[in-house]
Amino acid sequence: MKSVCIVDAHVVTAYGGGLDPLWDGLVSGRSAIAPVTRFRVDGYNPKIAACVDLAPAPPGESLLPQLLERLLSGLGPVPPDSRLLTATTKAGIDLIEGERRGLPADLGAILPDQLLAWVRGRYGLRDGGYNVNAACASSTLALARGASLIASGAADAVLVCSLDLVSEFVFSGFAALQALSSEPSRPFDRRRNGLSLGEGGAALLLMSEERARRDGRQSLATLLGWGVANDANHVTAPARDGCGLIQAVRQALGRAAVPPAAVVGISAHGTGTVYNDLMELTAFAAVFGERKLPLHSVKGAIGHTLGAAGGIEAALVTRMLAQGVMPPTVGCDEPEAGADGQVSATVTSLPGGLLLSTNSGFGGINAALVLGKGER
């Protein structure tokens, strides 16, 4: 099996474009979740989300191309023979809102295939590619699929792009589920009462070790293992015993050929909902026992970016590995009983170079990645 390297990573979040603004925002403890001004929220409660600063889209157009351009403008060169994977749950769904108001729109942009076409055209990629939609674990699955292509020798370069918008369509859906918090979300905090939506994107270029060396690309991190499992429990609620996440994590560790004791920290899904966070703590305790591993969630700072969440978090893990520290979990001031000594409001040192990144989503999906340090 070939080694998988992450040779480039760029993100766009409500903090701005790039890993530097994201890292600085997290270290400062500042949340980017704020009142929504993009669409009317009079009829909704709550009225906050973490939106990227985008210009209003022209009538009949989606904000998605603008967000994609922000994302790809920060990425380095992409070989034209790269395989392509995208991950989005709703693509240009904001076009529906314009059509509802009588504005003509090319509703084809709602389809994920349009996102693939835009990325292909930008880099002249020969691969048709495909989109992964697995709810809030979409980009984690896309990264796992890309890594599988490289590890098996089916490809030696794979571009994985993930992004999702905050739209009224999505906002109204989560509001109807009563899943949103009236304040910025508090992952793993005993006072947590729901999630905050966010938008953003991540682009990661994966290469085999041989291709990276041949192209003169530095490895930011190595993608050592990945696992995917479905708990088949409920349309929206996770299995409370964490069975699906436990299986995904153990698959990832097994593929990486490392014991649980080798992992020194976890980038968790951490949505800030009562059941998700408790499920994760239950699963991690089952895998890692009584070890108090540093545990982090980004969602109290940039909101839940849905299909882009895993990609953004994997890119952030490359920075954690490079810096040897884990940033604060913004919003967690009083950790849940099971998170005591694990979730911190301050920067935490990491005593090693192997991190776990996990995501879970509607429909029972769970996914996990094991990442190690790249070149120094």
Query: pLDDT tens-digit profile of 197-251?
Result: 999 999 999 999 999 999 999 999 999 999 999 989 888 788 899 999 999 999 9
pLDDT of residue 375: 72
What CATH superfamily is the domain 224-373? Thiolase/Chalcone synthase (3.40.47.10)
Pairwise CA distance, residues 110 & 90, whole Å:
7
Confidence at residue 100, expressed as pLDDT on a 0 to 100 scale: 66
Query: pTM value?
Result: 0.96
Average per-residue pLDDT for the chain: 94
Res 86 pLDDT > 70 = yes
The predicted structure's pLDDT at residue 1? 75
Cα→Cα distances 315→120, 214, 298, Å: 22, 23, 12
What are the tens digits of pLDDT across the range 112-140?
888 999 999 999 999 999 999 999 999 99
Q: What mean pLDDT comes out for the span 324-328?
A: 98
Whether residue 99 has pLDDT greater than 70: no
How far apart are alpha carbons 72 and 118 in whole angstroms?
Answer: 11
The class (CATH top level) of 4-215 is: alpha beta
Domain with CATH 3.40.47.10 in the chain: 4-215, 224-373
Residue 308: pLDDT over 90: yes
Confidence of residue 102 (pLDDT cuts 50, 70, 90): low
Task: Indicate the pairing of strand 48-49 with strand 16-17.
Answer: unpaired
pLDDT at 139: 98
Query: What integer pLDDT is reported at residue 76 of this predicted model?
Result: 95
